[in-house]
Structure 1
Amino acid sequence: MATSSVSKGCFVIKPKDSRKRKLPNAADYFNNGKAVSENDKLRFSTYQSLWQQMKEETERLQEHLNEKIFDSLISFIKKSCIQMNSDVNDWSYRMRYSEIPTAALVLGVNVPDHEMTLQGLSSLLKQSVTPHIVFLQGKECTTVKQILQKILMQLIGGNGSDEEKEEDLHHSFEFHQRKMNCSMVSLCRWYNAITKRPHFKIESLESTFGHLEGGKVSPSAVCIHPVFALNSTTKSPTKKKKSLLQHKEVHPIVIIFKDLESFVPKVLQDFVVIASNHVQRLPMVLVFGIATSPITIHQMLPHSVSSLLCIELFQSLSCTDHLATVIDKLVLTTKFPFKLSGKVLQILNNVFLFHNLSTKNFVKGFQLSLLEHFSSQPLSLLCCDLDEASARIQNLNHDDCELIRHLQSFMDYVDRQDAKKQVELLTNDQNLKTVTETLLSSLHVYHKNYFPVLKCLHILASSLPKYPLGRQIRELYITCLESNIWELEDYTSAFQLLGMMAKDELVCLLQKCIEVLQASEHESLTQAIKTLEDFLAKFQKLDDVFVENVEGTEEHKARSQYSLQKKTDLYQLQKTLMEMKELKRSRKPSRFEILRMNVLEFMDKLARQYLLPPETQPLHELVYFKISGELRRHLNAAPRAALQIALSNPYSYLKNEALKSEEGTITNVAPDICIIYKLHLECGRLINLYDWLQAFATVVCAAEGKDPDKDNGQVDGVLYARFIRAVSELEFLGFIKPTKQKTDHVARLTWGGF
């Protein structure tokens, strides 16, 4: 009977399974339940290859964007640790004796991206500064003791970011926890053993740390000056410093607080006070990951504690600038053949702006779009490089050719051809393959011209007040994808504002446009580059003409000013003003105004020629993902609707034929919570629990073949427990709540169902 209690003899021990679990073949999802064909395998391999290229490009982009701030952080950490191979260190004089070097890293409100940024920082620190990196989260560090446990556990594991290794070490760490006191003294001893530094006697601190219980610690109990912690053979701090200077390299312990705002202020204060008394024996650097504002540090830490930190501020790149760069490298490029339609890009943009501001989630949405495109479009195997697509076209079978003929864009293309060519396209597969290869090549050229001209139009429009065509290029791109942009009123108003632009501003914008077109290196835009360069040369000639005519203009202004200033009556003044107005109206436009008008007409011509919507291009379905409803269903979750659908129609999720039922009926074989939910839909605002229980027993007994009136209305204990559990689950989901109006009733919180 000594082990009669289950809680005394039951332990969870996770076995170490060295064998890798066999994952299902992902290519099976591309066949819609049919046998896997060669085209399905080819589509899946194309998806994998294309996504791998995009992923690598995103990672390189992330490293490039964070390169500047990472370099500054690494430089700060290197300088903040006292260099042991020099007699004088300027940085050490900036810090007081007990100050801890602290980097306040403002990451922004895009919290999902913080993990990726901090992991990149950790990798660089391990390569160039120190292998001792610790990650702390507020939800795991509610006491000082837990902070010290996490620090020791991650340092012993050697990789604080590896969650699996940390979990494996957790059990062994708990086993030795009684022998090793989780204190700063233990951390100092571990660091001295790892770095083979001189060990100092600090028994007083070890005994003092016994006051730490449940995270409550008296800072005064551990505020012992390092001088008194020295060995008796050490006579002065000066000799100690000289002995330490013999070491050439110091590997500090970098403690990264991922989410500073979620830490308990009192716990953080106690930890800083304790750490400041060991910073000379234990080189530490704190990195505060801040999502809101640097003022958070002073709100959480009083002046007496914040004065123990030597803080330097670091500001990361804003999430909107990061997204603009990602879109430029993944979307507005011909490097990757896959493209997004206007509605799909608008959904991803809205999720970014109104939900999380996370570039990481935007890339995940982009990956989901790529996967859905290759899964739903059988001809997506041609969504690859142009040379590879030409080889794949020749291997298409008759069924694939029929799929091409049924594309709406190809049908429109066939309708524009003469009768003889229409017959060839609809009957001759070889001729179809040749035309398909030509159309894909034309689609590639369309994108080569589209993106440089789009960027030029954005350069012109982004300099206008109130941004009629959008401030970001993604807004302009979405507009161009959905319609003919030159038919919009905003486009007309934008060119009207450009018609009032000064010469210096217009010349600067033209120079930027020329640089963008030259970077495209496409032959069809060579003539456009030459025309813009001619416009620039003409603007330069206008400066010489302006110098020659400036004297005549000044003389004319002086004459007009004299005629207005001389003494006259009201009639003569009105007559003079009318003459000046007529003269201004009948004045011919200047050479600059004519040249500016010609420039705007040329840019408008480029937009009308190259910024056609993708729907005008044959075979655009092969590379453009347009199923916005599927993407919205995955990204814009509606939990209430999903819950009500699952409870009212469990077949939609469980796919059990026995659960099929007519609308308005209750299936007696459904899960208990589904039966409870449907019964509660028949009640009013208040639900009698006894009546609810009797109705539930009637439905369940009918499923089990029992007579509900056999026990004179008494409900079986097991059935009663099932009812209580189902009601509790329904209350947890927010459909009902207890009410004080009637003790044996519950209140209904929702009305209607799906």
Structure 2
Amino acid sequence: MESTVSVSKGVFLFKNGFKKVKNPKKKTQNKNFFEKSFGKQPWYVAFKRNWKIIEDEIKNLQHRTYNTLLNDIVNYIKSFHNQETSDSLETIIPSATLLTGVNQPDHFSQFAALIDKIREEVTPHIAMISSQDAPTVKHLVENTVWQLIHGHEKLESIDEEDDDLKGTKKLKKNQCTFKTLKQWYTSQFLGQSPRKKRHGSMSSRSMVIIIPDFESFNCNVLQDFVMIASSYVPSLPLVFVFGVATSVSALHKSFPYHVSSKLLIKVFHSQASPVYMNQVLEDIFLTHTSPFHLSAKTFELLTDVFLFYDFSVTGLIQSIKYCMMDHYYGDNTKTLCCERSKIEEAITKLTTEDLENIRQLMSFRPFLESQEDCQTRISLFEDDAFFREVLCSEINILQDYIYTFYTCLRILLAFVKDLPKNLLGKSVREIYTKCAQENVTSTQAFKECMQLINFQSQVKLVDSIKNALKIVNTALQVVSPVKPLRTTPSKSNVDNIVINHDTGENFVKAIRVHLMMFSRQIENASTECSVISEVVDDENEVENVPGNRYKLKEKLLKATRVDKVQSEFSMVRSRFVSYLEETLSAGLQPPPTRALHELRWAARGRVCARLLGAPRAALHTALTNPVHYLQCSCCRLPSADSVGRSLPDVCAAYKLHRECGKLINLFDWLQAFAAVLRPDVDTDDSQEDTAVHVRFNRAVAELQFLGFIKSSKRKTDHVMRLTW
């Protein structure tokens, strides 16, 4: 049969030396499409700038987090790169087992950082094989050898011109075997002259094979691959890196003894996902330097998704990014979510419409009603220049409040994190959820924490105060001064504005002074209690008679009465607890109590519905009311319970099956379905129609695939209803 002759019709491709030309502008055009639409909008510019700052901080945190672990793995790989060590291993392959945890979406960034580190310090010959690319041993060997030879470059990214420059003949996938790898390795490194060997880099001889998802591989495929690779260890310096999500026992269960004996396993533990999540939140998002903040309910929603579902920090960051996009989208007033140094510039660029949107915020009304001067209230509505002055002042006060709020938040954590029962939590995110939702100082949990602090020892209390002092000193190092607005003329009634100056840098400095004072007083306070015994002698008292036991008991109690005076430490500690309650009450007021807090805090709103889908409700809506998604006039019905012939077959079958009980007779169901499709035709004739049978069978199969029904074992001509 000729190459272009086939039983079925088809398209036959002949390359004829044709080479696909890549369009470098295509990816750029797709990338810049969103920027072309919104690139000049102020809200998009502010969002892009602020997210770039957050993204850079996340990358720096990832580098600090992975740095120690990656250095340990790289040093382990380096230890097997000299010739003496390689010869002594014989058929044993060095294997680094990295316990990554169950947070699968975060593994990509971790292994990407590992590959960059190995390529930079050890060798460019790296192969990373995932389970989906290696269903059989043949595919696993081909992908591994190809990546090792071409320096872990993807197949589509290598052009023929690059191969000509490198002088390397392009290999086909079916030619990539360990024998080919051995020949290539011999010609590249062992075939060099002694002078080149002496001056050549020994790290270039290494070959690292990374398997990031060990549990997803077929055990037999990996066993055969390890046995094949072990036979080439004397001539090829191979090193394995296994990414294990669960525990080391998974590796031992997958490999029998004759296979595991070929591996020299060393285990490396990565940081726990909740610990890394706390670092991301505490160092980046839950700080006064962050331009964007989450409301208590939104923050609690995102952390619950993390803790109860995927343990993915990458997913949490992307969810926060979506919340930030939703907060900025289409609203130029959100340009005020910026650094303090750019607030003045952002206010001057606001239009009259933007100022009117700020006046319509829910928190603006209490601020307006707090002003006693009627002329000031009128100016806030009618005079844009005056309103800009007031807005600049209020935004700076809000910035001071944010600075004080997060500082007091960490001070509270320093005192309550080691208390029994963990009434307020042991991390910043737990306390933030409580403090941002309500006035935490008025709750019973806070009062119990203050009582427990009032029972702490002298050493423990001094340590807590020193930790709080470190937090205050760190906060004072990054504070920036307030810049008043000078682009518009000041009005005479600006002085009549009622402003709350109880937060800011001066507030934190006062806390620092008091903490230092209490620390010295508690350290130098005496813990000894003075005891005063008073013996009451009543000369006029009648001598006790032997039978008067009540008077004898009363006399003995008076004689042994002891008055204890509190020690100096107890009195100082009581004063400190009272001061702590008063300070935290002023600094931990919830954000909804502040004016214009909507500009900086993202409300829950549509975020919950977008981030947490409701597939069951969406499926029910699609089947009962398809016009909601199809937006067509033919599917529009007079009522939600009615069934029409214009509906899709699966929708009609779904509505009919809801009218039945737990067991559905297929014949009766077919009769009702045929009556809906052919209302003008006799029932018997419509049932005999082949098209009706086919459409009914397809609708039933779709409902069974969706999980609404299943076949019944009790009656062969019935199906069982599974939902509702």
Tell me the CA shift for residue 459 of structure 1.
0.9
Alignment pair present for 1:458 and 2:458: no
Instruction: For residue 408 of structure 1, give the secondary structure of its aligned residue in structure 2.
Output: coil
Instruction: Find the aligned partners of 2:364 and 2:196 in 1 and give their Cα distance.
Output: 82
Instruction: For residue 587 of structure 1, give the secondary structure of its aligned residue in structure 2.
Output: strand
Tell me the CA shift for residue 401 of structure 1.
2.1
Instruction: Find the aligned partners of 1:721 and 1:452 in 2 and give their Cα distance.
Output: 69
Partner residue of 1:653 out of 615, 629, 639: 629
Alpha-carbon spacing, 1:494–1:580, altered in 2? closer, same or farther (3 Å): farther
Partner residue of 1:129 out of 107, 112, 122: 122
Instruction: Find the aligned partners of 2:452 and 2:303 in 1 and give their Cα distance.
Output: 28
Tell me the CA shift for residue 340 of structure 1.
0.5
- Match runs of 1:524-603 below 5 Å: 524=506, 525-542=508-525, 582-583=561-562, 586-603=563-580
Q: Which residue of 2 aligns with 1:143?
A: 136
Alpha-carbon spacing, 1:143–1:647, altered in 2? closer, same or farther (3 Å): same
Alpha-carbon spacing, 1:25–1:657, altered in 2? closer, same or farther (3 Å): farther
Alpha-carbon spacing, 1:715–1:337, altered in 2? closer, same or farther (3 Å): farther
Q: Is the 8 A contact 1:458 1:476 kept in 2?
A: yes
Tell me the CA shift for residue 475 of structure 1.
0.8
Instruction: Find the aligned partners of 1:291 and 1:578 in 2 and give their Cα distance.
Output: 70
Q: Is the 8 A contact 1:157 1:165 kept in 2?
A: no
Q: Which residue of 2 aligns with 1:44?
A: 44
Instruction: For residue 407 of structure 1, give the secondary structure of its aligned residue in structure 2.
Output: coil
Instruction: Find the aligned partners of 1:710 and 1:10 in 2 and give their Cα distance.
Output: 50
Q: Which residue of 2 aligns with 1:58?
A: 58
| TM-score, with length taken from structure 1 | 0.80
| TM-score, with length taken from structure 2 | 0.83
Alpha-carbon spacing, 1:305–1:578, altered in 2? closer, same or farther (3 Å): farther
Tell which deviates more after alignment, 303-312 or 445-454: 303-312
- Match runs of 1:347-746 below 5 Å: 347-375=301-329, 377=331, 379-418=333-372, 419-521=374-476, 522=479, 523-524=505-506, 525-542=508-525, 582-583=561-562, 586-628=563-605, 630-661=606-637, 662-700=639-677, 708-709=681-682, 712-713=685-686, 717=690, 720-746=693-719
Q: Is the 8 A contact 1:647 1:677 kept in 2?
A: yes
Q: Which residue of 2 aligns with 1:184?
A: 178
Tell me the CA shift for residue 593 of structure 1.
1.0
Tell me the CA shift for residue 389 of structure 1.
2.9
Q: Is the 8 A contact 2:86 2:234 kept in 1?
A: no
Q: Is the 8 A contact 2:687 2:693 kept in 1?
A: no
Q: Which residue of 1 aligns with 2:113?
A: 120
Alpha-carbon spacing, 1:311–1:654, altered in 2? closer, same or farther (3 Å): same
Q: Which residue of 1 aligns with 2:495?
A: none
Give the unaligned 5+ runs of structure 2: 161-168, 480-504, 534-548
Q: Is the 8 A contact 1:154 1:166 kept in 2?
A: no
Tell which deviates more after alignment, 674-683 or 330-339: 674-683
Tell me the CA shift for residue 709 of structure 1.
4.7
Instruction: Find the aligned partners of 1:388 and 1:322 in 2 and give their Cα distance.
Output: 31
1:428-483 deviations in Å (ceiling 9; x for gaps): 22211111111101011111111111101101100111211112211101100011
Partner residue of 2:147 out of 142, 154, 178: 154
Alpha-carbon spacing, 1:92–1:618, altered in 2? closer, same or farther (3 Å): same
1:197-227 deviations in Å (ceiling 9; x for gaps): 349xxxxxxxxxxxxxxxxxxxxxxxxxxxx
Instruction: Find the aligned partners of 1:579 and 1:16 in 2 and give their Cα distance.
Output: 106
What amino acid does structure 2 have at the position aligned with 1:740?
Answer: K
Q: Is the 8 A contact 1:697 1:715 kept in 2?
A: no
- Match runs of 1:89-100 below 5 Å: 96-100=89-93
Alpha-carbon spacing, 1:391–1:174, altered in 2? closer, same or farther (3 Å): closer
Q: Which residue of 2 aligns with 1:202?
A: none
Tell me the CA shift for residue 590 of structure 1.
0.6
Instruction: Find the aligned partners of 2:69 and 2:363 in 1 and give their Cα distance.
Output: 48
Q: Which residue of 2 aligns with 1:80?
A: 80
1:234-265 deviations in Å (ceiling 9; x for gaps): xxxxxxx9998896414322111112222222
1:487-519 deviations in Å (ceiling 9; x for gaps): 111101111111111111111111111111011
Instruction: For residue 130 of structure 1, give the secondary structure of its aligned residue in structure 2.
Output: coil
Alignment pair present for 1:314 and 2:268: yes
Alignment pair present for 1:68 and 2:68: yes
Tell me the CA shift for residue 15 of structure 1.
7.3
Q: Is the 8 A contact 1:106 1:294 kept in 2?
A: yes
Alpha-carbon spacing, 1:244–1:279, altered in 2? closer, same or farther (3 Å): farther
Q: Is the 8 A contact 1:452 1:516 kept in 2?
A: yes
Instruction: For residue 712 of structure 1, give the secondary structure of its aligned residue in structure 2.
Output: helix
| Count of residue pairs the alignment pairs up | 660
Q: Is the 8 A contact 1:697 1:708 kept in 2?
A: no
Q: Which residue of 2 aligns with 1:20?
A: 26
Instruction: Find the aligned partners of 2:245 and 2:440 in 1 and give their Cα distance.
Output: 38
Tell me the CA shift for residue 690 of structure 1.
4.3
Q: Is the 8 A contact 1:736 1:748 kept in 2?
A: yes
Instruction: For residue 202 of structure 2, give the secondary structure of its aligned residue in structure 1.
Output: coil
1:257-286 deviations in Å (ceiling 9; x for gaps): 112222222322222222112112111111
Q: Which residue of 2 aligns with 1:326?
A: 280
Q: Is the 8 A contact 1:398 1:429 kept in 2?
A: yes
Instruction: Find the aligned partners of 1:456 and 1:117 in 2 and give their Cα distance.
Output: 33
Instruction: Find the aligned partners of 1:147 and 1:308 in 2 and give their Cα distance.
Output: 18
Q: Which residue of 2 aligns with 1:6?
A: 8
What amino acid does structure 2 have at the position aligned with 1:62?
Answer: Q
Q: Is the 8 A contact 2:675 2:683 kept in 1?
A: no
Q: Is the 8 A contact 2:125 2:149 kept in 1?
A: no
Instruction: For residue 103 of structure 1, give the secondary structure of its aligned residue in structure 2.
Output: strand
Q: Is the 8 A contact 1:140 1:146 kept in 2?
A: yes
Q: Which residue of 2 aligns with 1:289?
A: 243
Instruction: Find the aligned partners of 1:710 and 1:501 in 2 and give their Cα distance.
Output: 85
Alpha-carbon spacing, 1:137–1:37, altered in 2? closer, same or farther (3 Å): closer
Alpha-carbon spacing, 1:370–1:37, altered in 2? closer, same or farther (3 Å): closer
Alpha-carbon spacing, 1:139–1:504, altered in 2? closer, same or farther (3 Å): same
Tell me the CA shift for residue 143 of structure 1.
2.8
What amino acid does structure 1 have at the position aligned with 2:56?
Answer: E
Alpha-carbon spacing, 1:100–1:587, altered in 2? closer, same or farther (3 Å): same
1:164-190 deviations in Å (ceiling 9; x for gaps): 64999xxxx999455x2x532223223
Give the unaligned 5+ runs of structure 1: 30-35, 200-240, 557-569
What amino acid does structure 1 have at the position aligned with 2:7?
Answer: S
What amino acid does structure 2 have at the position aligned with 1:116?
Answer: S
Q: Is the 8 A contact 2:686 2:692 kept in 1?
A: no
Q: Which residue of 1 aligns with 2:497?
A: none
Q: Is the 8 A contact 1:377 1:622 kept in 2?
A: no
Instruction: For residue 687 of structure 1, give the secondary structure of its aligned residue in structure 2.
Output: strand
Q: Is the 8 A contact 2:125 2:148 kept in 1?
A: yes
Root-mean-square deviation (Å): 3.6
Instruction: Find the aligned partners of 1:15 and 1:576 in 2 and give their Cα distance.
Output: 111
Q: Which residue of 2 aligns with 1:264?
A: 218
Q: Is the 8 A contact 2:643 2:652 kept in 1?
A: yes
